[in-house]
Amino acid sequence: MREERRSPNMLLSVIVPAYNEVATVEFALRRIRQVPLRLEIIAVNDASTDGTRQILDGLAETGLVDRVIHHEQNRGKGAAIRAGIAVATGDAIVVQDADLEYDPADLPNLLPDAVYGSRFQGGPHRVLYFWHFVGNRVLTLLSNMFTNLNLTDLETCYKLVRSDLMKKLPLSSNRFGFEVEITARLAQAHARIWEIPISYSGRTYAEGKKITWRDGLAALFHIVRYNLFVPPTK
């Protein structure tokens, strides 16, 4: 069924938000370009200070990256994703983190509509932080109570959404609240959401992981905010 729904001519826009990812961003983008799909790669540099900007500009000159957007001030992951959505021209849009915790080889298995790649449905994954796992489970459960969905992985990076639907969603989050907001907006749009298992190789904080317990507390607030206050669609 997956192959029947995915046209061979489908263009997939891959948005790569990057903040101080000099150690991994080039390798990540080269891995993405190797995926056997028609791709539009949009890299969004969120005011990096470590040389990420120069790497992205160089890769754009070689054609490895189709478009690079630079934020002159750090605005957060959600703002970077929204900037990418605004210029995307593909038939579907997906976010790929620049740190390669998610494997681009999973992209061909995602379907053009609204699809979540779940880290908790059997795919191989690196064993890491217990409390991150618990926190994600709690947030996913609370979100499901508001949205009446039965997702297993609210905080997954891999959320592929049909472009025409994505561009209509009234998204406003600038930081990690984006994961909560897009789920609420898709549920409010009565989108058909699929989940598929993906692999996951998480980073430690020493390796550059950025999300903290403060982001988890903020997500609790965002779940209530984005589910109870619904702006008009675009």
CATH number of the domain within which 193 lies: 3.90.550.10
- For helices 178-188 and 77-87, what crossing angle results, to 10°? 50
| Cross-strand partners of 26 | none
Does the residue 197 lie in any domain?
yes
Q: What is the mean pLDDT of residues 54-80?
A: 96
Six-digit token pair at 42?
């949009």
DSSP code string of 60-106: HHHTSSSEEEEESS---HHHHHHHHHHH--SSEEEE--TT-SB-GGG
Residue 229 is predicted with a pLDDT of: 87
Q: How would residue 71 be classed by pLDDT, with cut points 50, 70 and 90? A: very high
Residue 13 has pLDDT above 90, yes or no: yes
Does the residue 76 lie in any domain?
yes
Residue 215 has pLDDT above 90, yes or no: no
Please tell me which residue, 225 or 213, carries the higher pLDDT value. 225
Does the residue 134 lie in any domain?
yes
Q: What is the mean pLDDT of residues 130-142?
A: 89
- For helices 213-228 and 130-147, what crossing angle results, to 10°? 0
Does the residue 122 lie in any domain?
yes
Q: Using the 8-state DSSP alphabet, how is residue 109 labeled?
A: G
Does the residue 174 lie in any domain?
yes
Label the pairing between strands 193-197 and 114-118.
parallel
Residue 108 has pLDDT above 90, yes or no: no
Residue 143 has pLDDT above 60, yes or no: yes
Number of domains within the chain: 1
Mean pLDDT of the chain: 88
Expressed as residue numbers, the domain containing 217 is 2-228
- 136: helix, strand or coil: helix
Does the residue 111 lie in any domain?
yes
- For helices 25-33 and 52-62, what crossing angle results, to 10°? 30
Residue 6 has pLDDT above 80, yes or no: no
Give φ, ψ of 35 to 5 degrees. Answer: -65, 135
Does the residue 98 lie in any domain?
yes
pTM: 0.74
Q: What is the mean pLDDT of residues 166-187?
A: 92
Percent of the chain whose predicted confidence (pLDDT) is above 70: 93
> How many residues are given for the chain?
234
Q: Using the 8-state DSSP alphabet, how is residue 232 labeled?
A: P
Does the residue 234 lie in any domain?
no
Q: Using the 8-state DSSP alphabet, how is residue 188 labeled?
A: H
